[in-house]
Amino acid sequence: MVTDDAGQGGTTAGRDNKTGHQGGAGHNLVQLITPAGERVSHPEYDPWVRDVSDEQLCSLYEDLVVVRRIDQEATALQRQGELGLWPPLLGQEASQVGSVRSLRDDDFIFPSYRENGVAYCRGVDLTDILRVWRGNASGGWDPYTVNMAIPQIVIGAQTLHATGYAMGIQNDGADSAAIVYFGDGATSKGDVNEAMVFAASYQVPLVFFCQNNHWAISEPVRLQSHTHLAERGTGFGMPSMRVDGNDVLAVMAATRVALDRARRGGGPTFIEAVTYRMGPHTTADDPTRYRDANELEDWAAKDPIGRVHALLDRKGLFTEEFESSVRTKADSVARELRAGCVGMPDPEPLDVFKHVYSTPNSWLDRQQDHYSRYLASFGDPAGAITEEGAR
Amino acid sequence: MTATMIKEFRLPDLGEGLTESEIVSWKVNVGDTVSLNQIIAEVETAKAVVELPSPFAGVITALHEQPGTVVEVGKPIVSFEVEGDAGGQPAAAAESVAPPAKREPNLVGYGAVVESTGRPVRRQRNFAAAPPVVEPVETGPVETGRPVVEPVETGPVETGRPVVEPVETRPVETTTDERPRSTPPVRKLAKDLGVALEDVRGTGPGGLITRDDVRNFVGGEGLPAASEEPVAAAGQPQRAVPGQGERETRTPIKGVRKLTAAAMVSSAFTAPHVTEFLTVDVTPAMELLARLKSGKAFAGLKLTPLTLVAKAALLALRHNPTLNSRWDEDSQEIVQFNYVNLGIAAATPRGLMVPNIKEADRLTLAELSAALTELTETARAGKTGPADLTGGTISITNIGVFGIDAGTPILNPGEAAILAMGAVRKMPWEYQDQIALRQVMTLSLSFDHRLVDGEQGSRFLADLGALLADPGMALAMA
């Protein structure tokens, strides 16, 4: 089934942009589950998810629900003063779950700051996910333990890291791949364009996974691009797909296609997952100031969780027992997340020097020496840090 | 452990670097039992109106701040009585990791503590008034940096603790004195008066040179009175005279008031407004209203003069669509709406809002009446959603409810026309060539003269008036 009803976001312009989108190959939106929960067939992509059993579909549903719950709990924790900031992913669950669950353990993930659902599915410790948002550490985990880098705050910079890493895979002759997550706004960044040039030139095993959530903070995607974002990948000579990002199965199929190509030496792929950021950019943002609530209502009807629920219902799989097991899981994850957050010990003053360089560095050692002596000059070194920080 | 304890919840920094927020409303009362993450309040920051989820499960024992109060970040706003392990908070774990000292952790979401006592002693700055004591104890490589402890001589140090003075390893000659501490306006004043700040002794905190210090330094030798006055006036707004009660109240401009003001200014100064007035004998319309109210078809519906005026305006718009359009400056286009989203100005607890009824032109009179009732009730409850506030195409403001006859309403930004309906008054009026006591209403119509010419505006107003003066005209116009 091929549809093209996801729209281009932004409601302030009356003019219809769609005519501008038909140039070139034309990327039709890949969809396998309709918003109403109907499983529709797609000759090209069906084979890639043929192995997804009922049981796996149930497990995908559980991840979608748990990820949303993590997001809601973290948002509440921010409102309660336990986190400094949180970037909600509400509405983007399917893009994140569908893509990360297509990866192998030896593939490497380069996320932006919003991929907290990816981190959960990848097995990152719940407390570690929150560590950086609580201002407790500069990075929450050791990337090599889960093969996932820590969140990149600088927009799009991770695409360069991912391209370099993928060149390394190439040099190693391995058959693993890298995936890099970024948003619609990042496609306007120089870094991202440079990364795409290099990735295509060297034909590296990398998946450019762009979650087009329609808003770069307050900037609608139509201001960023007069073509579908997938066409940008084509412009760099990469095979590109445009997929319904609220359809977990379609995202999975597209990611598998891209990974398979990467492993077989076919080079990078660009995936535009068309989704929608239903919440604010971060907890410090108020989207009602710049976007039309009608748009939100339209997207609520395309909810990624609702459609899997409906599909499971049609299949007779959405039993009371299943529903309560998912709820129990989500509750326990939320509890664990909260407990881990509020019980997190404060970092030590000198922790700031850890993890700057992987090898000893005399210049940094000197700074650390000076700073520790400075701290030692106070009666209560820890108190000094607090007061310094408060100033 | 099941013993209960009282927990205070302090207002967190809900954005990034906010120092205060306004409590808009409490969603709970003292004595209420709340669950974890239950919404307990609505708070307006400089950035957004956000809902506060309860951090604990327990019973509300106190609400420390009233709605409408602007609260500093970090101040307690609500207290809970909680079970020992309530709120999903592993209290034991939290306590065990807490440092033994009485140190109050600066919670991540609370931002900077504005005032603090017992601050650690920092390195004393060098002032001209308190010359630096620099001892070149070390002439070796830079690496040493051995701290030398020196007694404090002057300055704002409250405690008797020694001040650490890291010694500069550079030669004395190159040690640059910091310039005397002062603020830019004071430096400007000194410069204007030809005073070298190095010669002035600062009396402010930390040796800060104040405006008075500069003036005192100049002394009686002629500070031009003319320059003193405006400076003082600009610096400090006049406050209330003590003992006479407050003569003026200053309220910060923010929230809905600020948005309303910006919208009004933008509208008033971009769209050239023209306002026309028409006074109409609406007795037939009022008689129709009374008949409809007593009829069965409208049972349970709230019919008011506004209902009829709105319906009549929608009918008149069909013949005068120009008034239902928008000037799109960015694209240099005139957008003609082929639907009507009818805005109704409403006084709400949060200020003026203009929610609109979507596709109002497609509604029957009964549907329109129901929509108006719902819209006003929602607005009065302060629950108008953002979807209701955007996308309006033309507006009506009912100033008649305040007993007002006419006005020059300002356009809702982006719309081409706004109608103000006045009060229905019994007035002596010409009726069948006689003077009779009739029910009369004045209609005031403002329109954007870029889009709407006088002819179109006048025709619309005349059609509207004709419909209200003789509702049967609807048959002719439909």
Q: What is the per-residue pLDDT across A28-58, written as a single tens digit (0 to 9) for each?
A: 899 999 999 999 999 999 999 999 999 999 9
Domain B179-222, CATH among 3.40.50.2000, 4.10.320.10, 3.40.640.10, 3.40.605.10: 4.10.320.10
- Give me the residues of A, 54-83, that contact B with CB < 8 A: 72-73, 76, 78-83
The pLDDT value given to residue B286: 94
Domain C-terminal end among A323, A342, A361: A342
| φ/ψ bin of B440: left (φ > 0), alpha (ψ from -120 to 50), beta (otherwise) | beta
Q: Do B107 and A345 touch (CB under 8 A)?
A: no
Long-range contacts of B402-411 (CB under 8 A, 24+ apart): B405/B442, B406/B277, B406/B442, B406/B444, B407/B444, B408/B273, B408/B275, B408/B444, B408/B446, B409/B275, B409/B444, B409/B446, B410/B264, B410/B267, B410/B268, B410/B273, B410/B446, B411/B267, B411/B271, B411/B273, B411/B446, B411/B447, B411/B448
Residue of chain A with shortest Cα separation from B384: A293
Cα B463 to Cα A305, B309, B320, distances in angstroms: 52, 12, 9
Q: Residue A277, Cα to own-chain centre: how many angstroms?
A: 11
User: Which tens digits make up the pLDDT trace of B3-13?
Assistant: 889 999 999 98
User: Which tens digits make up the pLDDT trace of A203-242?
Assistant: 999 999 999 999 999 999 999 999 999 999 999 999 999 9
Contact call for residues B463 and B477 (beta carbons, < 8 A) = yes
The one catalytic residue in A161, A202, A290, A371 is A290
CB-based contact (8 Å) between B256 and chain A?
Answer: no
Q: Do A280 and B108 touch (CB under 8 A)?
A: no
The pLDDT value given to residue B264: 87
Q: Which residues pair with A216 in a beta bridge?
A: A219
Cα B201 to Cα B45, B124, B189, B224, B475, distances in angstroms: 42, 17, 15, 22, 88
| A365 and A238 fall within a common domain | no
Q: Do A81 and B99 touch (CB under 8 A)?
A: no
| A299 and A169 fall within a common domain | yes
**Structure-token match 């082929």, residue found:** B338
Active site residue B64: no
The pLDDT value given to residue B245: 66
Q: What ipTM describes this predicted complex?
A: 0.76
Angle formed at CA A59 by CA A54 and CA A63, multiple of 5 degrees = 145
Q: Do A79 and B53 touch (CB under 8 A)?
A: yes
Which residues in chain B have their CB less than 8 angstroms from residue A334's CB? 88
Angle formed at CA B173 by CA B169 and CA B174, multiple of 5 degrees = 65
The pLDDT value given to residue B181: 82
Does the pLDDT at position B452 exceed 80?
A: yes
Does the pLDDT at position A82 exceed 80?
A: yes
Helix runs in B219-364, H state only: 225-235, 255-270, 283-294, 305-319
Q: Do B13 and A389 touch (CB under 8 A)?
A: no
CATH number for the domain whose boundaries are B5-92: 2.40.50.100
Largest CA distance in chain A: 72
Contact call for residues B201 and B213 (beta carbons, < 8 A) = yes
Q: Which CATH architecture has domain B270-477?
A: 2-Layer Sandwich (3.30)
- Give me the residues of B, 327-386, that contact A with CB < 8 A: 328, 331, 333, 335, 385-386
* Most confident option among A6-15, B140-149, B190-199, B247-256: B190-199
Does the pLDDT at position B324 exceed 60?
A: yes
Contact call for residues A36 and A310 (beta carbons, < 8 A) = yes
The pLDDT value given to residue B260: 81
Which residues in chain A have their CB less than 8 angstroms from residue B164's CB? 374, 377
Active site residue A281: yes
| A385 and A267 fall within a common domain | no
The pLDDT value given to residue B226: 40
Residue of chain A with shortest Cα separation from B163: A377
User: Which tens digits make up the pLDDT trace of B233-279?
Assistant: 444 444 444 555 678 888 878 777 777 888 888 888 889 999 999 99
CB-based contact (8 Å) between A283 and chain B?
Answer: yes
The one catalytic residue in A21, A101, A214, A277 is A277
Does the pLDDT at position B172 exceed 60?
A: no
| A283 and A383 fall within a common domain | no
- Give me the residues of B, 116-145, that contact A with CB < 8 A: 116, 119-121, 143, 145
Whole-model pTM above 0.80? Answer: no
Which residues in chain A have their CB less than 8 angstroms from residue B106's CB? 386, 389-390
| A20 and A52 fall within a common domain | yes
Stretch B312-340: mean pLDDT, rounded?
A: 93
* Confidence class for position A25, pLDDT limits 50, 70, 90: very low
* A91: closest CA of chain B, how far (Å): 19
> Between residues B374 and B241, which one has the greater pLDDT?
B374
Asked whether the CA dihedral A319, A320, A322, A323 is positive or negative, the reply is positive
The pLDDT value given to residue B94: 36
| CATH code of residue A93 | 3.40.50.970
A83-87, A332-336, A365-369, B142-146: which has the minimum mean pLDDT?
Answer: B142-146
User: Could you give the CA distance from residue B353 to residue B230 in angstroms, rounded to a whole number?
Assistant: 40
Per-domain residue ranges of chain B: 5-92, 179-222, 270-477
The pLDDT value given to residue B128: 44
User: Which tens digits make up the pLDDT trace of A265-307?
Assistant: 999 999 999 999 999 999 999 898 898 888 888 899 999 999 9
Q: Which domain holds residue A78?
A: 2-342
User: Could you give the CA distance from residue B407 to residue B277 in angstroms, rounded to a whole number?
Assistant: 9
Q: Do B120 and A286 touch (CB under 8 A)?
A: no
Residue-averaged pLDDT of chain B: 78
The pLDDT value given to residue B213: 86
| A156 and A28 fall within a common domain | yes
Q: Do B55 and A81 touch (CB under 8 A)?
A: yes
Residue B209 DSSP symbol: B
> Between residues B297 and B357, which one has the greater pLDDT?
B357
A145-149, A378-382, B84-88, B243-247: which has the minimum mean pLDDT?
Answer: B84-88
Does the pLDDT at position B161 exceed 70?
A: no
User: Which tens digits make up the pLDDT trace of B427-449?
Assistant: 999 999 999 999 999 999 999 99
Residue of chain A with shortest Cα separation from B18: A284
Stretch A247-251: mean pLDDT, rounded?
A: 98
Residue-averaged pLDDT of chain A: 90
Percent over 70 (pLDDT), chain B: 74
Active site residue A374: no
Strands B394-398 and B342-344 turn out to be: parallel
